[in-house]
């Protein structure tokens, strides 16, 4: 399957699925994130960067509530993830089944803007990727509060983008 979203990811390195969650679902999930965050906010994790101290982060959503799993296993998300992440040589499941690994599923509300970086840890120039990030916006995400930014097409360069590039696109302008 080669959907519009898959073609956009191949070309740009990202895609936007407008209205993926309706307002009622966003409100419900946001309330659950806040509920579980309050239960876990004093929990400390080894290796957490110091800069994250001002961020609200809730780790391992898949272990908290089934509603989080329903979002991540939505047909559209699974279709995209299978296309890019399935191991075509894995023989124990048919190709129509997911055979990729969930590394982490977190909720984050940033306190500080991050430096430009690559979430997959290493630049890669081939067609195959080993990691993807899916972002589900539950609150306003603006330049001032540390929104995600992308550098269109940078996924094809095999290099880290220049952190001072003027070609960064904030997520609130990505689909315009």
Q: How much is the mean pLDDT over the chain?
A: 85
Which tens digits make up the pLDDT trace of 108-159? Answer: 887 677 777 777 767 777 777 888 889 998 988 777 777 778 888 888 888 8
Q: What is the pLDDT of residue 138?
A: 92
Residue whose C-alpha is closest to residue 43's, from 118, 131, 106: 106
- Residue 79 token pair: 């279709």
* Domain layout of the chain by residue ranges: 4-116+128-147
Lowest-pLDDT range, 14-28, 31-45, 74-88, 154-168?
154-168
Give the Cα-Cα-Cα angle 167, 110, 50 (nearest 5 degrees): 105
How far CA 9 is from CA of 27, 88, 157, 164, in Å, comes to 28, 19, 14, 23
Which tens digits make up the pLDDT trace of 142-155? Answer: 777 777 788 888 88
Q: Where are the alpha helices (DSSP H) in the chain?
A: 4-12, 23-40, 66-72, 75-85
DSSP 146: T
Question: Is the pLDDT higher at 100 or at 55?
Answer: 100
Positive or negative, the Cα torsion across 174, 148, 9, 21? Answer: negative
Question: Is the pLDDT higher at 35 or at 56?
Answer: 35
What is the percentage of the chain residues whose pLDDT exceeds 70?
Answer: 93
Which tens digits make up the pLDDT trace of 49-99? Answer: 777 777 888 999 999 999 999 999 999 999 999 999 999 899 899 888 999
CA Rg, the chain, in Å?
A: 17
Give every CB contact of residue 68 below 8 A, 6+ residues apart in sequence: 29, 32, 61, 62, 105
Residue 26 pLDDT grade (very low, low, confident, very high; cuts 50, 70, 90): very high
Other CB atoms within 10 A of residue 114 CB:
15
């Amino acid at each position: 399957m080669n959907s519009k979203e898959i073609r956009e990811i191949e070309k740009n390195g990202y895609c936007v699925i407008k209205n993926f969650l309706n307002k009622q679902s966003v409100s419900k999930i946001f309330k659950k994130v806040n509920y579980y965050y309050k239960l876990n906010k004093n929990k400390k994790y080894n290796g957490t960067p110091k800069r994250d101290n001002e961020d609200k982060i809730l780790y391992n959503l898949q272990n908290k509530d089934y509603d989080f799993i329903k979002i991540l296993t939505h047909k559209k998300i699974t279709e995209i993830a299978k296309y890019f992440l399935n191991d075509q040589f894995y023989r124990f499941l048919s190709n129509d089944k997911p055979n990729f690994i969930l590394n982490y599923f977190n909720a984050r509300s940033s306190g500080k803007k991050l430096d430009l970086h690559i979430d997959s840890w290493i630049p890669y120039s081939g067609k195959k990727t080993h990691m993807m990030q899916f972002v589900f916006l539950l609150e306003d995400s603006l330049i001032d509060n540390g929104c995600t930014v992308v550098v269109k097409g940078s996924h094809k360069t095999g290099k880290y983008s220049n952190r001072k590039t003027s070609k960064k696109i904030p997520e609130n302008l990505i689909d315009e």
